[in-house]
Structure 1
Amino acid sequence: MLRSALRLHKSIASPMASAIRTARLHAVPQLPYTVNSGVAPLLSPAALKIIYEDQQTGLVNRLNELIAGTPYEEKAFYEVIMDSARSLNEAQIFNNASQAWNNDFFLRSLSSKPSPISDAISKRLADSFGSVEVFKREFTTNALGLFGSGFTWLVEDQDGRLVLLNTYNAGSPHHRRRMQRQDETATDQDFASQAQNPYSGVSKYSAPPKLVANNSYVPILCVSMWEHAYLTDYGTTREGRQKYLDNFFQTVDWSVVEDRVFRSNGF
């Protein structure tokens, strides 16, 4: 299962973590494509510049300011997230580090010439959702129902199932105290009722609302639903966000997703 592999690979928890493991101050890693080319058809060069150059650089620069002269300077990026998540007094450190990690994870899932979905990934999705088509439909429904800024995730739970999860603002699926979910106080009855509402952002395939002590998830795929990700190219309407999500699935590089699922290269 992914969970045991995650424990073995915490020090290389993302391309961002491995790329800057030995750096004293963190830096924004290079993407596998150029900003000037964009990621067609999802992101124009102008939109990608906002996400990668403006937003990402700002987050990492602010993080470096916050951790200067502290033990966090010597930690890998993933370790900064997990250690700061344990203290409410370090919320700014966590928010900047987690948001930068989320953005990096999102952008590395994309390609203008993506690899198609493999039979192995299709089977994993079908085992959890019934079919790839149902997964895409439910993922899109969750993303459209996310009210405000955040990310929609495909994650693996502790039982090895693939489920959907919405996090808000800089919420992270890695730590139960910092998922920043809107449904944390929901009851099972509330959740069941919400799952019948196509605009609620939850479905029967969503991670359960109650976060017990050992709740955390292994991320597989995510889409940014922050306004700066889609505003430039799609505007603010629901129809625009629907088009954004349609184009997202046209640019998902399934070879990257497969590496994450089967942990051949870590993430």
Structure 2
Amino acid sequence: MFKLPDLPYDYDALEPTISADTLHFHHDKHHKAYIEKTNTLAEKAGLSGKSLEEVVREASKTGDKTLFNNAAQAWNHAFFWPCMAPGGKSCTGQLKAAIEKTFGSVDEFKDKFVEEGVGHFGSGWVWLATGSEGLKIISTHDADDTLVKDGLFPLLVCDLWEHAYYLDYQNDRKAFLAAWLQHAANYFFAEQQMFAADGKGEGFKFGAPMASGGGGKEAPAEQPRV
């Protein structure tokens, strides 16, 4: 069974960019529901004991859409939480150099990220990813993610589902994305992901599943609380 991961910061730590009310609603209700449904569906599919990454890929491979939607959303949200940090983390070092090489400047990257997110119709996610062609910005619909896209490794993601921002920004997705990139995005985490993609260090992985009886112990969280 998979366990809902704790946030790596307090609920009010991202204010005013993201309110404590939004994080309680987003994490404690939405993410928790995806975890619980994944546990039920993965057991029925005979995937108990598999990592969440394996469950997502197997569900995609077999065409089990219901399991894929819940498992991928469970993973996407777990990856989303460390993509944020109180006050954000500055874009510096090798990540900044890579962004400048690809997009011209950090500001131009932010503009393109916002443009991709605003232009995405409906629910989904907007990603900064890397691969054989270098950095790229993509968006995915609904639960779709980079785990099932060959040659792509996620560095940073922002949630485009309305529950991620509607309490704070109503229907102004553009304002949410601009504020998120400026004040909440964790570029240090993104740089560590970039290093992992290059074989230098360990990339993000969801915590190991617990025994079905609940007596197991989840693997340590990837990110320390800040």
Structures share fold, TM-score greater than 0.5: yes
Q: What is the correspondence of 1:128-167 to structure 2 with a 5 Å cutoff?
A: 128-159=102-133, 161-167=134-140
Query: 2:146 maps to what in 1?
Result: 173
Write the deviation string for residues 75-116 of structure 1: whole angstroms up to 9, x where unpaired. Answer: 01111111111011x111111010111112112111113332
Query: Are positions 1:241 and 2:173 aligned together?
Result: yes
Query: 1:34 maps to what in 2?
Result: 10
CA distance in 2, matches of 1:262, 1:40: 29
CA distance in 2, matches of 1:266, 1:219: 9
Partner SS state of residue 116, structure 1 = coil
Partner SS state of residue 165, structure 1 = strand
Write the deviation string for residues 140-184 of structure 1: whole angstroms up to 9, x where unpaired. Answer: 00000011000011111233x1011110000112214xxxxxxxx
CA distance in 2, matches of 1:42, 1:104: 19
Letter in 1 for 2:145: S
Query: Are positions 1:75 and 2:8 aligned together?
Result: no
TM-score normalised by L of structure 1: 0.71
CA distance in 2, matches of 1:101, 1:222: 12
Letter in 1 for 2:61: R
Letter in 2 for 1:174: L
CA distance in 1, matches of 2:47, 2:13: 33
> Would the aligned equivalents of 1:85 and 1:91 in 2 still touch at CA under 8 Å?
yes
In the TM superposition, what is the alpha-carbon distance from 1:61 to its structure 2 partner? Answer: 0.5
Q: Percent same amino acid among aligned pairs?
A: 27
CA distance in 2, matches of 1:139, 1:118: 17
CA distance in 2, matches of 1:65, 1:258: 35
Runs of 4+ in 1 over 3 A off after TM superposition: none
Partner SS state of residue 71, structure 1 = coil
CA distance in 2, matches of 1:158, 1:71: 34
In the TM superposition, what is the alpha-carbon distance from 1:69 to its structure 2 partner? Answer: 4.8
Matching residue within 190, 194, 197 for 1:257: 190
Q: What is the correspondence of 1:1-267 to structure 2 with a 5 Å cutoff?
A: 25-35=1-11, 37-88=12-63, 90-159=64-133, 161-176=134-149, 215-236=150-171, 240-249=172-181, 250-263=183-196, 264-267=201-204
Partner SS state of residue 158, structure 2 = strand
Question: What is the count of residue pairs matched by the alignment?
Answer: 199
In the TM superposition, what is the alpha-carbon distance from 1:38 to its structure 2 partner? Answer: 4.5
In the TM superposition, what is the alpha-carbon distance from 1:70 to its structure 2 partner? Answer: 4.2
Letter in 1 for 2:176: Y
Write the deviation string for residues 22-56 of structure 1: whole angstroms up to 9, x where unpaired. Answer: xxx11111121122x24123210111112111000
CA distance in 2, matches of 1:141, 1:164: 10
> Would the aligned equivalents of 1:112 and 1:251 in 2 still touch at CA under 8 Å?
yes
Q: 119-128 or 145-154: which moved more? A: 119-128
Letter in 1 for 2:60: A
In the TM superposition, what is the alpha-carbon distance from 1:266 to its structure 2 partner? Answer: 1.6
Structure 2: runs of 5 or more not aligned: 205-226
CA distance in 2, matches of 1:85, 1:231: 30
TM-score normalised by L of structure 2: 0.83
